[in-house]
Structure 1
Amino acid sequence: MNKEKGNLSIHSENIFPIIKKWLYSDQDIFIRELISNACDAITKVKRLNSLGEADLRENADFQVKVVLDTTAKTLKFIDNGIGMTEEEVKKYINQIAFSGAEDFLQTYKDKGDIDQIIGHFGLGFYSSFMVAETVEIDTLSYKQDAIAVRWRCDGKTEFEMESSNKVTRGTEITLYLGEDGEDFLKEYTVKSTIEKYCSFMPYPIHFEVADKEPEKDEDGNIIIEEAKALNDVAPLYTKQPNTCTDEEYKEFYQKTFRDFQEPLFWIHLNMDYPFNLKGILYFPKLNTEFDTMEGRIKLYNNQVFVADNIKEVIPEFLLLLKGVIDCPDLPLNVSRSFLQNDGFTRKISDYITKKVADKLNSLFKSGREGFEKFWEDISPFIKYGILKDTKFYDKVESIILYKTTKQQYVTLEEYLENYGEKTNKQIYYVSDDVQQAQYIKMLQEHDLEAVILDHNIDSAFISHMEMKKNEISFKRVDSNVTELMKDKDQAADEEVSTKETEALTKVFNKILNKEDCKIQLESLKSQEVAGMIILAEESRRMQEMMKRYSMGGFNPNTIPTEEILVLNKKHPLVQYILKHAEEETEILNFIVHQVYDLAVMSHKPLSPEAMGNFIKRSNEIMKRLIVE
Structure 2
Amino acid sequence: MVESAFDPAHEFQTLNFKAETQQLLDILIHSLYTERDVFLRELISNASDALTRMHFILLTERDVLDPDAELAITIVPEPDKRALRIIDTGIGMTADEMIENLGTIAHSGARAFIQALKENNANPNDIIGQFGVGFYSAFMVAERIEVISRSYKPQASPARWISTGRETFNIGPCEKVNRGTEVILYLKEDASEYTQETRLRQIIKKHSEYIPYPIYLGQDKQPVNRQSALWRQPPQQVKDEDYEAFYKQLTLDFQPPLFHLHLVIDAPVQVFALLFIPASPERGPLSARNEEGLKLYARKVLIQEYNRDLLPSFFRFIDGVVDSEDLPLNVSRESVQASRVLAQLKRVITNRLIEALKNWAKEKPDEYTTFWQRFGRFIREGIATDEEYGELLAPLLRFPTLFKPDQWLSLEDYLLTMPARQDKIYYLLSDSLGSALNSPHLEIFRRHRYDVLLMTDPLDPFMMLRLKKYQNIELVNAASEELPPPESPSEGQDLSESLLSVEEQTRLINRFKSVLGEKVADVRITQRLSESPARLALQQGSPSQEIQRVYRLLQSDYSLPKLVLEINPHHPLIRSLYNLPDNDPLLRLGIEQIYENALLLEGLHANPGDMVKRTEEILLHALQAKTT
* TM-score (ref. length: structure 1): 0.77
1:429 aligns with 2:431: no
**Aligned equivalent of 1:283:** 277
1:237 aligns with 2:231: yes
| Matching of residues 242-321 of structure 1 within 5 Å | 242-273=236-267, 275-285=269-279, 287=281, 296-307=293-304, 320-321=317-318
1:52-102 residue CA offsets vs partner (Å, 9 max, x unmatched): 133436652613426384x76545433333333333322221x22543472
| Matching of residues 84-483 of structure 1 within 5 Å | 84-93=93-102, 95-100=103-108, 102=110, 105=114, 110-116=120-126, 122-144=132-154, 149-161=159-171, 169-178=179-188, 191-206=201-216, 227-229=222-224, 231-273=225-267, 275-285=269-279, 287=281, 296-307=293-304, 320-333=317-330, 339=338, 342=340, 347-368=344-365, 370-377=367-374, 379-380=376-377, 400-404=397-401, 405-420=404-419, 425-431=424-430, 432-439=432-439, 442=443, 446=447, 447-467=449-469, 471-476=473-478, 478-479=479-480, 483=484
1:515-540 residue CA offsets vs partner (Å, 9 max, x unmatched): 5464344466544x344444579522
Whole-angstrom distance in 2 between the partners of 1:538 and 1:285? 39
Instruction: Structure 2: give runs of 5+ residues left out of the alignment.
Output: 1-9, 284-289
**Aligned equivalent of 1:542:** 547
Amino acid at match of 1:200: Y
Q: Could you tell me which of 520, 523, 538 is aligned with 1:519?
A: 523
Residues 152, 417 of structure 1: alpha-carbon distance in 2 compared, 3 angstrom cutoff: closer
How far apart are residue 614 of structure 1 and its match? Answer: 3.0
1:390-447 residue CA offsets vs partner (Å, 9 max, x unmatched): 8867777566543335222334344245345576524133442133341187468534
Q: Is contact 1:137–1:173 with CA below 8 Å preserved after alignment?
A: yes
Residues 122, 578 of structure 1: alpha-carbon distance in 2 compared, 3 angstrom cutoff: farther
How far apart are residue 207 of structure 1 and its match? Answer: 5.1
How far apart are residue 43 of structure 1 and its match? Answer: 2.0
**Aligned equivalent of 1:507:** 515
**Aligned equivalent of 1:221:** none
Amino acid at match of 1:272: D
Q: Is contact 2:12–2:171 with CA below 8 Å preserved after alignment?
A: yes
Residues 300, 233 of structure 1: alpha-carbon distance in 2 compared, 3 angstrom cutoff: same
Whole-angstrom distance in 1 between the partners of 2:412 and 2:506? 41
1:79 aligns with 2:110: no
Q: Is contact 1:7–1:158 with CA below 8 Å preserved after alignment?
A: yes
1:593-623 residue CA offsets vs partner (Å, 9 max, x unmatched): 443433322222744xx34433455456667
Amino acid at match of 2:15: G
Amino acid at match of 1:461: M
**Aligned equivalent of 2:48:** 39
Amino acid at match of 1:65: I
| Matching of residues 11-90 of structure 1 within 5 Å | 11-50=20-59, 51-56=61-66, 59-60=69-70, 62-65=72-75, 67=77, 69=79, 74-90=83-99
Equivalenced residues, count: 591
How far apart are residue 196 of structure 1 and its match? Answer: 3.6
How far apart are residue 495 of structure 1 and its match? Answer: 4.8
Q: Bigger shift: 151-160 or 459-468? A: 459-468
1:352-384 residue CA offsets vs partner (Å, 9 max, x unmatched): 344335434443554555544544456555556
How far apart are residue 125 of structure 1 and its match? Answer: 0.7
**SS of corresponding position for 1:434:** helix
Whole-angstrom distance in 2 between the partners of 1:453 and 1:620? 35
Q: Is contact 1:150–1:164 with CA below 8 Å preserved after alignment?
A: yes
1:464-521 residue CA offsets vs partner (Å, 9 max, x unmatched): 3325656422315x55675459879566544542442232022123xxxx55464344
- Cα RMSD (Å): 4.5
Whole-angstrom distance in 2 between the partners of 1:26 and 1:581? 84
Residues 564, 123 of structure 1: alpha-carbon distance in 2 compared, 3 angstrom cutoff: farther
Whole-angstrom distance in 2 between the partners of 1:249 and 1:601? 49
Q: Bigger shift: 329-338 or 157-166? A: 329-338
Whole-angstrom distance in 2 between the partners of 1:615 and 1:186? 72
Q: Percent identity?
A: 25
How far apart are residue 577 of structure 1 and its match? Answer: 4.4
Instruction: Structure 1: give runs of 5+ residues left out of the alignment.
Output: 211-223
Q: Is contact 1:428–1:451 with CA below 8 Å preserved after alignment?
A: yes
Amino acid at match of 1:301: A
Whole-angstrom distance in 2 between the partners of 1:353 and 1:99? 40
Residues 626, 29 of structure 1: alpha-carbon distance in 2 compared, 3 angstrom cutoff: same
Amino acid at match of 2:523: I
**Aligned equivalent of 1:215:** none
Residues 624, 365 of structure 1: alpha-carbon distance in 2 compared, 3 angstrom cutoff: closer
Whole-angstrom distance in 2 between the partners of 1:506 and 1:66? 92
1:188-233 residue CA offsets vs partner (Å, 9 max, x unmatched): 775554344323221233556x9xxxxxxxxxxxxx9x9352x331
Q: Is contact 2:73–2:89 with CA below 8 Å preserved after alignment?
A: yes
**Aligned equivalent of 2:7:** none
Whole-angstrom distance in 2 between the partners of 1:27 and 1:519? 73
1:289-327 residue CA offsets vs partner (Å, 9 max, x unmatched): 9xxx98533332211233367676656655553332222
* TM-score (ref. length: structure 2): 0.77
Q: Bigger shift: 515-524 or 123-132? A: 515-524
